[in-house]
Chain A
Amino acid sequence: MKSLLRCSLIIFSLCAASIHAQDSPKVIEIHAKRFSFTPSEITLVKGETVTLDLIADDTVHGLSIPELNVNATINKGKATRVEVTPTQTGTFNGQCNHFCGVGHGSMLFKVTVKDK
């Protein structure tokens, strides 16, 4: 009886861990600092949800990627979380959408979305 209970407990734990893993999307940390993003390019998989953790290191920035419905303001000192689930493959351009100084126009970002 004891061994049966132990087996059930192990199976239950494995299932719970599996469900938890499926529920937690991959997190990508992106830093914004005059006048670039780090990393400035990421690759995603079509249909898979990821969380972008956007962090401003110096002043207020923003990230706009219209094709992926991303339009976020990134405040200094607090991570801005954005969930993205790409529905199409391709290369999508993003940019800072909060004016941040003389190099604002060159603060660009690129997302490549591939099939599984």
Chain B
Amino acid sequence: MRSVLAGALCGLVCCSSLTACGVKQPGRVETGTVYWVKRNVTIGGRSQTNPVAATDANIGAGKNAFGYYCVACHGRDGQNTGVPFAGAMGPPIPSLASADVQAYRDGQLKWIIEHGVYPSGMPASKGLLSDQEMWQIVRYLRALPRAGSLGEPRAYSGDEFGSASTDGQGQN
């Protein structure tokens, strides 16, 4: 009975230590390995092609949909501009213009948007966004603007509750 209790306690401590880890940055080998596994094994949608044409209208619509909430982590430009915690996450939020991200196929990018990526902070957008919007976002990701050219997300302006909120009342 004692050994069972001891084992259960050990298991509990192990689980607690795993779930309570602080954020740490992965090394180059870990990052490279994970990207390879994701690109070639775990991320679906490899065979899916984008049904949305690469027109200015669709890229603009993708940018608009990207602005719904993707900007909170990726910045307006998809390159983390103005996102204060982008480099402090584990793993850090990648620039969507990076070679690692751009190496995904269109279908894989759409799959990532739709299903999210475990265990990163990337959420699943199924139901939140329509299929059309997700494909349009993929179009936007393929045509990202110059880093910093669109400014920073409004959320990080330091004025979330309006300029008259210093008295604790805020503005409606």
* Distance in Å: Cβ of B49 to nearest Cβ of chain A: 19
Instruction: Give the residues from 107 to 159 in chain B that come closer than 8 angstroms, CB to CB, to chain A.
Output: 125-133
Instruction: Select from chain B the residue with minimum beta-carbon distance to A101.
Output: B128
Give every chain B residue within 8 A of A95 (Cβ-Cβ): 130, 132-133
Query: Contacting B127 at CB < 8 Å: which of A66, A93, A97, A106?
Result: A106
A99 at the interface (CB under 8 A from B): yes
Residue positions of B touching A, CB distance < 8 A? 57, 61, 64-65, 68-69, 125-133
Instruction: Select from chain A the residue with minimum beta-carbon distance to B64.
Output: A97
Chain A residue total in the interface (Cβ 8 A):
13
Give every chain A residue within 8 A of B131 (Cβ-Cβ): 105
Q: Judging by beta carbons under 8 Å apart, are A99 and B127 in contact?
A: no
CA distance A67 to B69 in the complex (A): 27
CA distance A66 to B133 in the complex (A): 13
Mask for A68-107, Cβ within 8 A of B = 1, else 0?
0000000000000000000000000101010100111111
Mask for A100-116, Cβ within 8 A of B = 1, else 0?
00111111100000000
Give every chain A residue within 8 A of B61 (Cβ-Cβ): 64, 97
CA distance A93 to B130 in the complex (A): 11
* Distance in Å: Cβ of B13 to nearest Cβ of chain A: 37
Q: Judging by beta carbons under 8 Å apart, are A102 and B127 in contact?
A: yes
Give every chain B residue within 8 A of A108 (Cβ-Cβ): 130
* Distance in Å: Cβ of A108 to nearest Cβ of chain B: 7
Pick the 4 closest A-B CB pairs, nearest first: A99-B68, A105-B129, A105-B130, A105-B127
Q: Judging by beta carbons under 8 Å apart, are A99 and B132 in contact?
A: no
Give every chain A residue within 8 A of B133 (Cβ-Cβ): 95, 105
Instruction: Select from chain A the residue with minimum beta-carbon distance to B58.
Output: A66
CA distance A106 to B61 in the complex (A): 17
Give every chain B residue within 8 A of A64 (Cβ-Cβ): 61
25 chain-A/chain-B pairs, Cβ below 8 angstroms: A64-B61, A93-B132, A95-B130, A95-B133, A97-B61, A97-B64, A99-B65, A99-B68, A102-B128, A103-B127, A103-B128, A104-B68, A104-B128, A104-B129, A105-B125, A105-B126, A105-B127, A105-B129, A105-B130, A105-B131, A105-B133, A106-B127, A106-B130, A107-B130, A108-B130
Q: Judging by beta carbons under 8 Å apart, are B130 and A99 in contact?
A: no
Give every chain B residue within 8 A of A93 (Cβ-Cβ): 132
* Distance in Å: Cβ of B46 to nearest Cβ of chain A: 23
Instruction: Select from chain B the residue with minimum beta-carbon distance to A95.
Output: B130
